[in-house]
Amino acid sequence: MLNNWVVMPTCLPRVLRRCHTCASESFRTNGKFRVNAHHKLLDAWLLALCTTCGDTTKLTVLERTHVRSIRPELLDRMHDNDPGLAAELLQDPVLRRRNRIALDWDGAWRLDTGGPNHPDHEVIDISVRFAARIPVRPVRLIAEGCGLPRAEVERLITEGKLVSATRLSGKTSGDFAFMLKR
């Protein structure tokens, strides 16, 4: 029996960056943008608030970019403070590297198994798909999806009853599949 699981974001992740005011390490974004024009050049930032003191930081999206080189849809989405655009931009490795930030996905995702946690079949094939690039430990996903403790999942891997072509140790943010033999 083949089951499909989906790892879905529930909200925007926290941004990990040092606050200049209070030395906190995390910011929250709510999808607000600031766009500033300098004649025919535009700057655009995604705004984030410190989780401790509330100070605002600006994550650079566009810097001194000619207005004609920006897609009108993108500019409209920034003016409308589109949270979907904020989610897309936070996934962009170039933006994260330019702004020297990392993302904290704790509490910002959920696993949709699409059915009961304990199927009665001897062998279960499960395909896990990620709706966004959320780094999660496969052992954690399997434990949550099957309703098992993590130690039990580790034991099943060691005994060869839980197999996958993908390495199950460490974190992954890419789709993978596994087979569980009871």
pLDDT at site 90:
95
Taking all residues of the chain, what is their mean pLDDT, rounded to a whole number? 92
DSSP string, 11-73: SPPEEE---TTT---EEEEEEEEEEEEETTEEEEEEEEEETTT--EEEEEEEEEEEGGGS-HH
pLDDT at site 122:
81
pLDDT band at 119 (very low <50, low <70, confident <90, very high): low
pLDDT at site 14:
96
pLDDT tens-digit map of 30-51: 999 999 999 999 999 999 999 9
pLDDT at site 116:
63
